[in-house]
Amino acid sequence: MKLVICEKNIAARRIAEILSKGTSKTSRLGTIPVYDFTKENEPWCVIGLKGHIINLDYPAEFNQWAMISPKDLIDVEPCKNVSEKGIGDALQSLVKNTPSIIVATDFDREGELIGVEVLDLLKSFNKNISEIKRARFSAITTYEINDAFENLVEVDYNLSSAGEARQFIDLVWGAVLTRFISLTSGRLGRDFLSIGRVQSPTLALLVEREKEIKRFIPKPFWKIVAQIKKEQLFDAQHINGIFLEQQPALEIYNKIKDAHSALVKEAKKTVANELPPTPFNTTSFLQAASTLGFSASNAMNIAEELYMSGLTSYPRTDNTVYPPSINIRNILEKLAQSEFSKEALEVMNNGRGYPTRGKMQTTDHPPIYPVGVPVKKKITADQKIIYELICRRFLATCAKDAVAETTDVTLDISGEDFKANGYKLLEANWRTIYPYFKEKGKPLPELVNGENVEVTKISLNAEETKPPQRYSQGALLGKMEQLTLGTKSTRHEIISKLYGRQYITGSPPIPTSTAIAVVDALVNCDVVKPAMTAQLEKDMNEISEGKKTLGDTVKESRQMLSIVMKELETDKETIKNNIQTALREQHMIGVCPKCGKDMMVRVSRQGKRFVGCTNYPNCTNTYSLPQSGGIIKTTNVCDACQTPIVKVKMKGRGAWDLCLNSFCPKKNKRVDAPKEKENVAPPISGK
């Protein structure tokens, strides 16, 4: 018998259907579905896991946080336990017949580790397993699956060791640092503070940007802008650009303010090709999805669903170059029978001949591209948006260059030079297929050297420099990639964890006061610096290449963590005070209308959150809160009763302002906000 191990049930069902040519039968071992069929007179059985079914954790006696010092936890050996007992029992039953095993999990570090974990479990059930092979594929399509199973390879134990090193190091660093910061600040139970090897330097990026914004001091500058008219209105700016001093700008303005005509000194046109975008890798895909309103985590989940359904290729990849093995023509022919038939036929009949190439080329997985066409009734609205994004990106990479004309004009107004720029798309080509880019500019009217044009207005505009923008999720992903924080497979999860752990809120993500206090507490510690986690990423790459061992890397990481803990122990009291102060600030809601003291979010003995006055017991004023959704403090108060107003944000229901006073004479009505796909702001809780 051949036993095929897949990462999830949806993949197992589809792979069984392909290998059996639709003849597989579903049975159950307990509650676990198993797919059986006969192939070439041999029985086959396909089973799906739920990702990792082996859990790495500390022994039970070390789970009482107060019983062991965090620094002593560094050298405690974690143990492995079966976290999905039903699947474990099913595997034990299936392996009794000593089958030949084929690992068909996702082909990356995580997938290889999941497969090896199950192999170790199966060997513990039956030491006489006859054969172990690996099926590698990048899309769950008929061709790829059949090809993978006809060309089985060996399991890559170096790759799984790299995945195991990450799992081990993340557990130890996370557990030790989380316990230290939580015990030090007195935040235990469900309100514990989380620290992570990748999570913390990522959070530090957001905190540093927030500090840059807060300490930013705007500086004034001046611009002189002339409004020109020839068939249409357009603006021209003084050749100096911006003036940092008002007086020189004012002198020029006074000189030319009454001018009514401008001389065209030079009108220069340039025609150039614009290359289509490069193929999607994970980071560029998530960045593009974020511009459509999808959080990184949500976009990746949808992409994985499309992959498991056989509609797109594997979404975790660094590659931006299509390998020769991809049959571009075949994909275009499929899309020609879909809602993208017009675009596909355009590319087939008038394409570039060869797709664009990005800078990153790897051999594990190709870029993200469509591999199938969905049945309309079997795809959700969000899946349709993401599938269309992937299809249009693929089609664009195969389409002809766009052709654009740029115009640079120099005008003389009373002896002062002004510049104007125009942009005109001559041949849209790929831009028609992939309409997600912003327009670069507007066309200028036809201008001829030596002609005079009308000046309708001249303005001296006073402006101020702007603070740096907060990172969007897409920009944050790009920065993480640049600094080697996490991997293509984990970066979106890190951002999601920061939301879930109440370190960031809103979109774009804004760090909470607690997040700022935690990062400040670790400011002199390597755990918030990208260099340390980047070195560990490098070590894990070397494990996968066979240049380094799992044991050596784990030993080195423990030594690094010991140094970090020594640094933290010396600042323990300062860390405690800073975090506790920040926590109080984060949970402040506003001023009590009865006594004028601060009000803050608290949690009752029954676990219900409410707002209470900090002047208790002298003031017993309290307000109830919704028990689900995010509560975001504002600076607003109700004009009818002077009670603080909070914003309530719930997933799928938009957001609304709420006066905390349920007896407010105004009887506030909910105001719907546009539905968002971003992470919901976490609920505030406190004591």
Asked if 231 contacts 241 with a C-beta cutoff of 8 angstroms, the reply is no
Find, among 587, 670, 676, the residue nearest to 633 by Cα.
587
Q: Which residues 6+ apart lie within 8 Å of 498 measured at CB? A: 199, 202, 203, 206, 504, 509, 515
Concerning whether 143 is annotated as a catalytic residue, the answer is no
Asked if residue 617 has a cis previous peptide bond (ω within 30° of 0), the answer is yes
Q: How many helices (H) and strands (E) would you count in the chain?
A: 19, 23
Which is the catalytic residue, given 253, 314, 499, 503? 314
Asked if 31 contacts 84 with a C-beta cutoff of 8 angstroms, the reply is no
Structure-token pair, residue 484: 């080697």
Structure-token pair, residue 513: 């006061």
Q: How far apart are CA 428 and CA 430, in angstroms?
A: 6
Instruction: Give the H or E element holding residue 350.
Output: helix 341-350
Q: How far apart are CA 525 and CA 503, in angstroms?
A: 19
DSSP string, 11-39: HHHHHHHHHTTT--EEEEETTEEEEEEEE
**CB atoms near residue 93 (< 10 Å):** 14
Q: How far apart are CA 576 and CA 587, in angstroms?
A: 17
Expressed in percent and rounded to 5, the helix, strand and coil fractions of the chain are 40, 25, 35
Q: Which residues 6+ apart lie within 8 Å of 547 measured at CB? A: none
Q: Which residues 6+ apart lie within 8 Å of 480 measured at CB? A: 202, 205, 486, 491, 494
- CA distances to 130, 196, 372, 563, 592 from 11, rounded to whole Å, are 25, 31, 15, 44, 56
Q: Which residues are catalytic?
A: 314
